[in-house]
Structure 1
């Protein structure tokens, strides 16, 4: 081995904080040079060399695998100096820092950094590794957008990015990755729609998109992925969608479409997919029955809970012995089935119309089968019977889980789901793997968990009463040290009585460490007799730390106690007082609400002639409730501007339309007449290059105008994206604006008029138009006129007062706009020092404007001077 390579390896070893290598020039050929190790399936250390160079006198390192060794250093850039390195695998360590940009010089085919503490973004330079076939970055802390440059690595076969903090969308250039066989992006904040170009990945065998922020529907191009064997998509946002066309995927083995808002029936063609072993379609809106074509299938798991399936449950399903979950559906009848059928979960699987002819556990809401008189419940989840804080907690030791329902005298539980990637048996109960540092260690030493959905039910509770629900948690499956076993991130949601009370709950983060017990209390009103606690996984967090299949909701214990006086059967004095006060407040609020809806209070009389006129115009009407919801109650974070009229807020309507809301300020001098005039004038001006008025809101003392929202904060910037001024290209328009400001200083704005018009136009009209255009293009919102002022200027009713703009000779368009902003600040300074105040100026003009205006030598000073007397006024609509 060359000496220089030994030096490089020594630097790499030191930076990694690696103690497993015994380096020397003969390390490649000596038995103990790299100390090969292998044990427990997760730990492996091995270095491969090729010593065939220079007639077998020179060795080069070709493979470095250091898995599960808990290396605590950082990634050394010196790896790039190993020019013959083909594989670099540093999975399941404790490496921190970022991925060096120098890694772009590697010529490896495999780069695996799974299960570390790496942060920052994926360097764009990784896209320069043209030899790369596998990039595995699962279970790290990487963030930012996915680098578009990866789309250039056309040899890439496996791209594993799950359990990171990526955002943005999947880059369009990834459409070039036609050799992909595996793509995994679970548990990140990747958003946008699932791209149509996934249809280009025709070699794909596995696609995982669970727990992202992506939107449906699943694109129709997915039907082109005929080689898929595993498809997992969950928790899609957006509207409901039909079942995707998977008819050509005859080799499917795993199909999971969970919480994807899928409607319609289960396609019978799935019954012909003979290789299918795991089918999960839970938490959708599927209707119809179970296809009879499923009868010959050899499914290991068929999970269809939380849908709207109807009809009769086929006998072959009940007799199959498979793990089947049909809970929470609307089946109308079936052969009499018990509440605890082996491997079959039928809890709440039947509709209310079946009456009392079936077992209580099959009916909606699991009604009490006897006298409902319980008021306490204590469960040691995943553990044996214990006494804690004077209360006896019942045992919960069953190891069942994929599709299991189990009931006891006063409680029951339901578990659904399978762990992906787990080769050995599934885990549904666990004991602590670390020392418990909190008091009450016994209650936190065991736990029950589930890969998908876990429900506990308090049965036969007194109806109509309030209860305190205490949920105990402790993370006991990860370690509390500097090893990869401490890097797991468990995240799940919790709902009680159907209301979400915990979102993306991370026990370790909430408890400030593993092995620390915490509890969360919730007051719950039970209207029926059953209290439901639902813990469920939404695809977030890690799935492969410390090994595959350790994720999903986990809970240590449950305590339910009454918020009422048990001895009297009624509420405690404090509770009674609280309820009386709350009821009185609610009653008063209801009365006020009725009066408000009836227009009796809190509203100005809409018979006001001026405001009534606004509603008679051709514009939409919005309620104040709609606008408050859209702007988050006029949150200051949504404020995008301020003018003389009042503040302007950005908002999003319930249908997703983005709006700008102009709110009349109490300090504004614009009155009802100007408010109505502005609505009328803007409603009458219809043009693709004018901002649209969606409508108004008139309630109480609130006068609101609702416009379409323009992303850019300057009309001049917005014009770059519009083809106006006779569809002038962007570059020419920048040039035009530059000359407009130069010519304004020299008094020669008319030089901008198209020569093709000759002299057949009104020079005064043109000057007025050009000065108004300059006013509207001001980058500072406070210096732009209102639409009512613009129309008045164009009509010659008020003088046009254009700002005097100084240019600094810069040519870059971004710098120009910064110069414009500087100009705006200068203009405001000049205004503040002028003889007349802004309010005085407005009163003299006789109209309210949304900001101060600056006098100019080329401004047209009077109504008479600006009015056009000739036929050339047609120039105005041509230029707008």
Structure 2
């Protein structure tokens, strides 16, 4: 045991952090506490001591997992999360048959999951999100019937969403977003009655229904965005007393909302962009609750047609206060506080955001900011704040003259770091961008395209307006890391938007149908929705005389 541990320490050069010149199983050792990292904990209940806990978390270890590690066959808790490990996940991991918790997420492994993982039949927690693995999920994982937690998002898994997940009767937390898996959602998911969190997204091929939800009354979070879900929302969902977040946007749901869907604990409900109709549910105006029904026919909800077509441009300082650029462009204030299902409207444009950040220790943060100088631009202040969203962020230009427009999108990654020698530099913010419903950027990574963080980047496109409204959608498809350098660091980010009509191109939209063309991708200093729209539950317009804005009243918007 000691020999194997010493080889592991040498392999990853951990000698300065974990010295074993004395007995590694010494009582009250500093490396054995719950907060120690690296951590080594032993069980010496019998005549022989065994290492049962090994944590090497976020310590910048590199390369492949040494084979000596698999000699520690008494391990019950093993964590290698948030490092820079590469190569395949070794099949020898199946030798650690006593494991209760296994974590190797946020690494750079390659290839498929080994089928030998199915030998870990006592496993209760498995964290492999953003680990780099690909391919089909092995059928052998059906043996993991003791699983309570499975995080597997942001891996390029292929094939069907496994039906065997529905036999994991102890499962409480299941997350599978940002994969290449196909539907439908298996009906036997209805047996997962202990589920507290269910997050599945971006399923292709076949339609799914919500029939499996009937008995899942323990849910607190349910997110099934862009899963080709059709049919009606079950009436029983109004009996889910623990439900706090319900995200069903960008599907094909029909019918009306259950009248009792707004339960006392429900914080946010999103059904945007579904062909639903009917009335708003009971208690929709309850304090502390917000709801997104944009893109449906519920109470005729939608962006108002004011029939006063006067604008040929709009500019927004996303997430910040208004300012005028060196070239004279006046960017409007966009510092309103948005939340889990929010909508805000100014005189010329509107913004909506939806989703909740997972495990953000600092609370929900929908605006990013930095005091650092932004390089390769004369407009550094324009990039020091940015609007964030955990799921879907959509800006609308309103009352626009029909015709051809230039759309400039300004970006700078101000929340992630460049240090490739540290785990803090392994974060990846990945999202898609749509203009007028057409995807113009897929798997967009600001930091990668700009050549680093805190570097300005402009993407420029051409599009047509034919109905007086422009729709710019920034959408997180579940890809990228979630928690580097801090928990909740993911989702779309944009610094500013500048839209102007092409001179002499009025009404060109009548000649060229909804065609978006990328003209230029300019990196300043470098050559470099599926998700839901965020809105509110009800359009209650109040004139803000001081700011010249019109505000949609919810429990959230405030300065």
Same fold (TM over 0.5): yes
| 1:445 pairs with 2:384 | yes
| 1:378 pairs with 2:315 | yes
Give the Cα–Cα distance (whole angstroms) in 2 for the partners of residues 228 and 400 of structure 1. Answer: 29
Q: CA deviation at 1:23?
A: 5.1
Q: How does 1:195-210 map to 2 (within 5 A)?
A: 195-210=162-177
State the match for 2:406 in structure 1: 468
Give the Cα–Cα distance (whole angstroms) in 2 for the partners of residues 7 and 187 of structure 1. Answer: 33
Q: How does 1:128-527 map to 2 (within 5 A)?
A: 128-319=95-286, 321-331=288-298, 333=299, 350=300, 362-363=301-302, 366=303, 368-369=305-306, 371-390=308-327, 391-432=329-370, 435-439=373-377, 440-463=379-402, 465-481=403-419, 482-527=421-466
| 1:92 pairs with 2:92 | no
Q: CA deviation at 1:17?
A: 4.4
Distance 1:433 1:202, change over 3 A: farther
| Structure 1: tracts of 5 or more residues without a match | 61-83, 334-349, 351-361, 587-880
**Match of residue 482, structure 2, among 540, 543, 566:** 543
State the match for 2:527 in structure 1: none
Partners of 2:318 and 2:497 within 8 A in 1: yes
State the match for 1:19 in structure 2: 16
Distance 1:164 1:48, change over 3 A: closer
- 1:245-265 Cα offsets, whole Å, 9 max, x none, are 122222122111111111111
Q: How does 1:29-40 map to 2 (within 5 A)?
A: none
Distance 1:132 1:30, change over 3 A: closer
Q: How does 1:668-683 map to 2 (within 5 A)?
A: none
| 1:102 pairs with 2:99 | no
2:283 is paired with a residue whose SS is helix
Give the Cα–Cα distance (whole angstroms) in 1 for the partners of residues 394 and 123 of structure 2. Answer: 41
TM-score (norm 1): 0.54
2:9 is paired with a residue whose SS is helix
Give the Cα–Cα distance (whole angstroms) in 2 for the partners of residues 449 and 505 of structure 1. Answer: 15
TM-score (norm 2): 0.84
Distance 1:535 1:153, change over 3 A: same
1:156 is paired with a residue whose SS is coil
Q: CA deviation at 1:18?
A: 5.0
Distance 1:489 1:295, change over 3 A: closer
Q: CA deviation at 1:526?
A: 0.8
Give the Cα–Cα distance (whole angstroms) in 2 for the partners of residues 7 and 190 of structure 1. Answer: 33
Give the Cα–Cα distance (whole angstroms) in 2 for the partners of residues 393 and 225 of structure 1. Answer: 50
Q: CA deviation at 1:431?
A: 0.7
1:292 is paired with a residue whose SS is coil
| Structure 2: tracts of 5 or more residues without a match | 516-559
Distance 1:370 1:330, change over 3 A: closer
Q: CA deviation at 1:557?
A: 0.8
Distance 1:33 1:293, change over 3 A: closer
1:317 is paired with a residue whose SS is coil
Give the Cα–Cα distance (whole angstroms) in 2 for the partners of residues 212 and 106 of structure 1. Answer: 32
Q: CA deviation at 1:182?
A: 1.3
Give the Cα–Cα distance (whole angstroms) in 2 for the partners of residues 259 and 37 of structure 1. Answer: 39
Q: CA deviation at 1:547?
A: 2.5
- 1:237-283 Cα offsets, whole Å, 9 max, x none, are 01323224122222122111111111111001111121222211111
Partners of 1:406 and 1:413 within 8 A in 2: yes
Bigger relative CO (Cα 8 Å, ≥ 6 apart): 2
Partners of 2:110 and 2:132 within 8 A in 1: yes
Give the Cα–Cα distance (whole angstroms) in 1 for the partners of residues 287 and 31 of structure 2. Answer: 53
Q: CA deviation at 1:117?
A: 1.6
- 1:544-591 Cα offsets, whole Å, 9 max, x none, are 2223211111111111122114xxxx66xxx99xx99x98xx9xxxxx
Q: CA deviation at 1:126?
A: 0.5
Distance 1:563 1:367, change over 3 A: farther
Residue correspondences, number = 509
1:520 is paired with a residue whose SS is strand
Give the Cα–Cα distance (whole angstroms) in 2 for the partners of residues 12 and 241 of structure 1. Answer: 48
Measured on the aligned residues, the alpha-carbon RMSD in Å equals: 2.9
Q: How does 1:815-826 map to 2 (within 5 A)?
A: none
Give the Cα–Cα distance (whole angstroms) in 2 for the partners of residues 16 and 36 of structure 1. Answer: 21
Distance 1:36 1:132, change over 3 A: closer
Q: CA deviation at 1:435?
A: 4.9
State the match for 1:844 in structure 2: none
Distance 1:45 1:477, change over 3 A: same
2:216 is paired with a residue whose SS is coil
Give the Cα–Cα distance (whole angstroms) in 2 for the partners of residues 25 and 246 of structure 1. Answer: 55
Q: CA deviation at 1:26?
A: 6.5
State the match for 1:780 in structure 2: none
Partners of 2:229 and 2:251 within 8 A in 1: yes
State the match for 2:522 in structure 1: none
Distance 1:218 1:432, change over 3 A: same
Distance 1:31 1:553, change over 3 A: same
1:561 is paired with a residue whose SS is strand
Distance 1:304 1:16, change over 3 A: farther
User: If each structure's strand is expressed as a fraction of its own residues, which one has the higher value?
Assistant: 2
